[in-house]
Each structure stands twice: as structure tokens, then as C-alpha cells.
Structure 1
Amino acid sequence: MGFTSRVVPRGVFFQSLYRSSYTYPVGKDLLSSATFNFINPRHHIINTDRVSQIIPAKSVAGLSDEEILALFTTGFFGGFIFRIESWLLRVWGARYLPARYTGFRADAQAVVVRRPTAIPSQRLLPIGSLFFSSFLLVDKHISEPEKEPSSADETVNSYVDFGFGSDEARFAGSHRFRVTRLPAATETTDAQVQIDLEHFRCNPQQNIPSLAERIQWFHFLYAKLLFANGIQAILKR
């Protein structure tokens, strides 16, 4: 699928807006992760939310977890919704909204992404790769390809974390893109895959809510739209 078709919202995009759910809790593992400690080292108060959608496993048949996450990344950062923000960040991001964290070390292979077309759709970039000066790939975890849920109570998931802001500033946070393979509930039902966009934000310098709490309504709408672009990239590959 070409980049242009990922940019323009199509039927799958609007279906995702309707079918995705928005909640406030995120996975406990995100809030105890290395990503969390880099971004919020003083463990100040946070706000969280998550957008989720469950899709049939057959919709992503043949794709590895990394490929699913890579496609979602291209839709999130390279889709129609993010286009204006990416342009603004290319112009002013390095000066006003740099992503950096005390003690964080990038992989030697890390790259700088300045254009959406530079985001690969089949693999995740190395840890430390910087998107538009303002989103840093802080961590990633890919489950073993051969591992499948062994029971209805077990899930297998992979994720990639992008940090924004700085622990030396008054606003920072992270987006975690997560894919979870869910087992079939019964012998007559199909396996499913859950896609999550998990988010936390904080004021790393003061133990008070971040400035973003004043525009929660905008964050809700923007998160749903960005998520829908990510889902579109996966399902219309």
C-alpha cells in the first residue's frame, strides 16, 4: 500500500472511530516500566487514557507483531490526522518541544525521522530513533513469534513506546502502541487481536497536573482520530 492511501481517511478509518473504545486506565506494566521512569523520574501525579479496538486475527494473518506495530506507527505518525502536527514539529519541534530524558541512551543504529515517508512499514526503528524532533522511541518489546496464548486466561502482547517532552520540563508523557493476541473463547469462535494506544502525561518538575488537563476534550478527539489512522494502516495494507 502506498503512502498516499494511508494518508486519506477511508471506510476503515470511520469504522474505527465508531468501534474503538476510550477508557482511562492503562496497563500496570506501562506505569512500572523503564519508559515511565525515564519520563517521570520523580513519580509525580499522572493522567492516563487508552483507545482500544479488537479485530479478527484473520485480518492480520501472516503479519508478525512487529509488522502490525510498524504499520500502526506509519498510520499514527504518517496519516492524514498527524500531517499538520508533523509539519509544525519539523519547523519548531527541536526548539520548543524536544524529546529528551536524563540518563537515556540511544542505540548506535538510531535514526532521525524528518518525513513521514521515512517511517518503515515492516519493522520498528531502533531505540533512540527521533521522530520530528519531538517523539523519541524509548523502548520496544516483541513477543516470540512462535508463542501463542495457551488458554483463554493468557494473553501475549508486544509494544513500542514513544516519549514526548522532557523530564527537565513541565510537560512530558508517552504513547504505547500495543498489540495483544487473544485466544479463541471457544472452539467455535475465532481468535482475535487487540490494538491499544495507551497514554500517560505528567508535569515532571512539579507534582501538579500538566497543562494538558485544560483541554481534555481535545485530547479525547485527537487520540481517537490518530488511533483510527493507525488502524487504517493495518487493515488497508
Structure 2
Amino acid sequence: MNRIITISTAVAVAATGTYLYRIQSHISPVPIHRISSSPQIPDALKQSKAALAVNPNGHVTITDTRFTTLELPNRLSDEQILARFVKGFFGGYVFGPESGVLRAVGKDLMRFERLKDIPVSSYIWAQSALSRETVPPLHSVLFGVFRVADCHFQSPGDEKYPELSQGGSYSYIDVAFGSEKGPIAGVHRFSVTRDGRVKEDGGKNESVTIEFAHVGCNPKENKPLKPDFVQTLHLWYAMLLFREGVAEVMK
């Protein structure tokens, strides 16, 4: 019996070590020193349809944002960049254990009154079903917990964001998660912003800022999410997910 326990422990340790090595290998192209973080979120997210749907009573929230700027080929559309990010975020090694647990549960756990009359467009249960070219369809549900509640792909000159420089753009996808009957609900906003400036390389590349903003709340009670270490854990996990998402864009 002791021998079996010893072998099982050794296998578990080896598997964990391999898993952590793969994560590090995938996120290493996106070092932390190239990422900026903030405890604030964009006003556009605070006032978004998705944020209102998951927190209609205005309960106290926790917020955080992280972003980085890359030089990317200008042939990539905003949707392609976001699709690659989403695939890395939900389809990578970091999210792997969570997706496995959610697949095992196999249920749509989302419950939001303001979304109940909008039909789910599709269910995505496999990481391999995520495309590098198009984002998941509007109102699709990923792994039974995450719903694409809103998205916007901007063309240069779009009057919705006139403050952007000529040729610039701002596009996003809002992913609602949780349930108003559960202990936590919130929204992930993944966005890309282009500055529109032509590079000296003949215009083949341009600066693109990729951002992951998050707002969460206790949907049942108007009080901060507890215990405090949950937020610390979230910030650590969110950074890993962000780095793997960006790494997928850089491939």
C-alpha cells in the first residue's frame, strides 16, 4: 500500500511539474514588466450593458485592469486579434483545469434576469472549438459559465469614439460570468485599441494595446466580496490568463 501511495504521489508531482512548465513556456513571451495594471476600469465598462445586466442593483464592486502594447501586422483586424486573445485566454494551459471541471459539470449555470429572454446562440464546451479568426458568437455560452453579452468592432472614423486619432480604433468583447443567485458575478472586457499612426517600416505594423478589464460583485448582498484573499488569488490568476491570451496573439 505504501508503495502504491509513493508511486501515485510521484506521478502527481511529475504531472504538476509538467503542467507548470508548459504554462511558463507559453506565457514567457509576455513578461510581466511589459504589462501595466490598475485597480480602475474604463468608464465605458462601468456603463456597459453587460455590467448593468450582472449588477442591476448597483452593488459594491471590485475592479482591476491590465494592458500591454504590441507591434502587430496591420493586416490583422480587431476581431482577429480579439479572437486570438480569447482562444489563448479560454483555450490555453492556464484555463485548462477550470474548463475540465466545468465540462464535467456539464450544465449552463448562468442566471441573469436581464438576459433570460435573449436566446443562447450556441454552447461551447471544447477549447478546440475556439477560433483564431472570429470571436465566439454574441450570446454564446462558454463552458456553462461565461456568456458573450456584448461586442463591438470599430472601423476607423467610427463616431462612437471620436476622441481616437485619425485611423485609430477601439473594439471589445464583453463576457459576463457567474449568476445572480450565486456568490459572485461580473464581466470580463477584452479590448484592442489602435493609435492609427503609420510606422516608419512602411506601414506594415502598428501599435495595438490589448486590455483585460474586470468588474465583479456579490450579486445577492450589497457588500464586498469576501474573504480578501479571493481578490489576491483572482489578480494572480487573471495575470496568467492575460499573458497566455496575449501570447496567442503574438504567435
Question: Normalised by the shorter chain, which TM-score bucket?
Answer: 0.7 to 0.9
Shift of 1:92: 2.6
Structure 1 Cα separation of the partners of residues 216 and 170 of structure 2: 23
Q: Is the 8 A contact 1:159 1:179 kept in 2?
A: yes
Distance 1:209 1:9 in 2: 31
Q: How does 1:49-88 map to 2 (within 5 A)?
A: 49-56=64-71, 59-88=72-101
**1:217 and 2:232 equivalent?**
yes
- Equivalence for 2:135: 124
- Which TM-score applies when normalising by structure 1? 0.84
Separation in structure 1 between the aligned mates of residue 127 and residue 26 of structure 2, nearest angstrom: 20
Q: Distance in 2 between matches of 1:121 and 1:185?
A: 25
Alignment match, 1:5 = none
* Stretches of structure 2 lacking an aligned partner (at least 5 in a row): 1-21
What amino acid sits opposite 1:83 in the alignment?
Answer: G
Query: Percent identity among equivalent residues?
Result: 31
Mapped to 2, the partners of 1:218 and 1:131 lie a distance apart of: 22
Displacement of 1:21: 1.7
**Counterpart Cα distance in 1 of 2:162 and 2:206:** 12
Q: Aligned equivalents of 1:86 and 1:151: distance in 2?
A: 39
Q: What is the distance in 2 between the residues matched to 1:228 and 1:170?
A: 27
Decide which moves more: 136-145 or 9-18: 9-18
Is 1:175 paired with 2:193?
A: no
Aligned-partner Cα distance in 2 for 1:31–1:229: 25
CA contact (8 A) 2:155 2:169 kept: no
Structure 2 residue aligned with 1:144: 155
Q: In structure 1, what is the equivalent of residue 220 of structure 2?
A: 205
Q: Secondary structure of 2:112's partner?
A: coil
**What's the offset of the Cα at 1:191?**
3.9
* Cα distance change on mapping 1:150 and 1:31 into 2, 3 Å: closer
Higher relative contact order (CA 8 A, sep 6+): 1
Residue 166 (structure 1) aligned to one of 179, 186, 191: 179
Cα deviation for residue 91 of structure 1 reads: 1.5
**Do the aligned residues in 1 keep the contact of 2:193 with 2:209 (CA within 8 Å)?**
yes
- Alpha-carbon contact 2:156-2:169 (below 8 Å) kept: no
1:90 Cα offset (Å): 1.0
Q: How many residues align?
A: 225
Contact 1:162 1:175 in 2 (8 A): yes
Conserved? CA contact 2:150–2:175, under 8 Å: yes
- Structure of larger gyration radius: 2
**Segment drifting more, 209-218 vs 222-231:** 209-218
- Consecutive unaligned residues of structure 1, counting only runs of 5 or more, are 1-7
Shift of 1:183: 3.6
